[in-house]
Amino acid sequence: MKDRFLVTGGARLVGEVKVAGAKNSVLKLMAAALLAEGTTTLTNCPEILDVPLMGEVLSGLGCHVDINGDTVTITTPAEVSPNADFEAVRQFRASVCVLGPLTARIGHAVVALPGGDAIGSRPLDMHQSGLEKLGATTYIRHGAVVAEASGLHGAQIDLDFPSVGATENILTAAVLANGRTILENAAREPEIVDLCVMLRQMGAKITGEGTPTITIDGVEKLHPTQHEVIGDRIVAGTWAYAAAMTQGDITVSGIAPRHLHLPLEMLRFAGAQIETYDNGFRVVMPHRPKAVDYQTLPFPGFPTDLQPMAIGISAIADGTSVITENIFEARFRFVDEMMRLGADATVDGHHVVLRGVEQLSSTPVWSSDIRAGAGLVLAGLCADGVTEVHDVYHIDRGYPRFVENLQSLGATITRVR
């Protein structure tokens, strides 16, 4: 049976919310634990569905995984299996991040082609090309990507696009390669920096994270560590846009504001009042938002994961907005559901034009991915009547205590099982 949310519109969200660890970081950190025999402990982990799913993947590889609240303990054996189970891997995209660690640690990886959100194609060609430059042989067979290597060596690797996943797999392979690897056009996301910090704690030699050029000097062996996961900037951004869309006042803690510099600036342009602190920020929207144009780009650009929130605020803004999606071609599926809610939208290729309306109208809608689901809930808060949001298991994959946090901010929302 699938749960759904009933969202009653009209509430002004006010209060404080604390952000947990980043989904887009914790899953990659869990995979990195494969690089060292022994017990690695991660704290500040989000209590979301994808964490136990990654635990299933690691358990299938021979690890012992214990999840206790926001702490995840991974004990990696001396001998790790190369086969990432299809049933576990197919459920979410991040599972492919075991490819690099397995290739580096045991020279063999068989990882089922992953599933996950319906937001467009995300091929593995840059992952494979990077590993091949490090000395591995890769191919696709029987629905799985296979990597084999008798020994990895350093290389000069230039990515065609600053892919987060490819950067992560190349990093986690290169740390145990013989010699120096220089990775150009690397992803610069805060989650990449978090991974590099943990790898250094494990004994890796890495410099340049957070810039387009990362240098890795391979070492013979890594050791387990304890690491605190950074705050989730996408969840924090969701609360920021929730404040602006409902003309509310929300203070968010547990996040470095610099990780959301552009999204918060866009809210300023829309008329919000923003205060930033060392470990959080406050968003106050005193009136109807003004229309602003958005385009998604790799960090430090506007995150594609906040594109549904950009569409949501534009749908009820004063004026006309143009949103351009440059990362995932299918992410505009969300627009169809927004139009069901009464949004005045026109899609043209990778652009959508939104002419803001004062209020949306409630109707049943369906989530197609994690962020689209959250965006539909925020839109429901700006609609008359009660909006039913279906397929909310997507939201559970990325937002811990989503309903409870919304209720604490004054929203009228219930989960129906």
Measure Cα distances from 228 to 13, 74, 171, 402 in Å: 30, 14, 19, 22
> Where in the chain are the domains?
4-19+231-416, 23-228
| The dihedral sign for the CA sequence 354, 360, 363, 367 | positive
d(CA 403, CA 412): 9
Closest CA to 373 of 312, 288, 317: 312
DSSP single-letter state for residue 260: G
Give catalytic status of residue 117 as yes or no.
yes
CA dihedral 253, 255, 261, 267 (to 10 degrees): -30
pLDDT band at 118, cuts 50/70/90? very low
pLDDT tens for each residue of 321-355: 999 999 876 677 889 999 999 999 999 989 999 99
Indicate the CATH number of 23-228 among 3.40.50.300, 3.65.10.10, 2.30.29.30, 1.10.15.40. 3.65.10.10
Query: Token pair of 154, please?
Result: 């350093």
Residue 368 near residue 118, CB atoms below 8 Å: yes
Structure tokens at 93: 């995209």
255 is in an annotated binding site: no
Q: Give the phi and the psi of residue 162 in degrees, each rounded to 5.
A: -75, 70
Annotated binding-site residue? 93 = yes
Q: How confident is the model at residue 117 (pLDDT cuts 50, 70, 90)?
A: very low
Q: Report the CATH architecture of 4-19+231-416.
A: Alpha-beta prism (3.65)
**Rounded CA separation 230/209 (Å):** 15
- 74 marked among binding-site residues: no
Average pLDDT over residues 103-118: 80
Task: Say what the pLDDT of residue 357 is.
Answer: 98
Band the pLDDT of 90: cuts 50, 70, 90: low
Q: Rounded to two decimals, what is the model's pTM?
A: 0.94
Confidence of residue 115 (pLDDT cuts 50, 70, 90): low
Coil vs helix vs strand at 63: coil
Q: How many angstroms separate the CA atoms of 191 and 210, rounded?
A: 9
70 assigned to a ligand binding site: no
Which of the pair, 221 or 85, is modelled with greater confidence?
A: 221
Catalytic residue among 117, 194, 232, 396: 117
pLDDT band, residue 305 (cuts 50/70/90): very high
Does the pLDDT value for residue 290 go beyond 80?
A: yes
Separation of alpha carbons 65 and 75, rounded Å: 6
Residue 352: strand pairing partners: 323, 347
For helices 190-201 and 23-32, give the axis angle rounded to 10 degrees.
Answer: 30
Could you check whether 4-19+231-416 and 23-228 share the same CATH topology? Answer: yes
Sheet containing 412-416, strands listed edge to edge, beginning at the edge strand earlier in sequence: 365-366, 386-390, 4-8, 412-416
Residue 173's nearest CA partner among 106, 222, 104, 108 is 104
Nearest to 100 by CA among 185, 166, 181, 48: 166
| pLDDT reading at 87 higher than 90 | no
Euclidean distance between CA atoms 239 and 321, whole angstroms: 21
Cα separation, 200 vs 153, in Å, equals 19
Residue 330's pLDDT is 67
More confident residue, 92 or 279: 279
Return phi, psi of residue 243, to 5°: -60, -45
Does 282 carry a binding-site annotation? Answer: no
Alpha-carbon gap, residue 15 to 94, rounded angstroms: 32
Who wins on pLDDT, 204 or 140?
A: 204
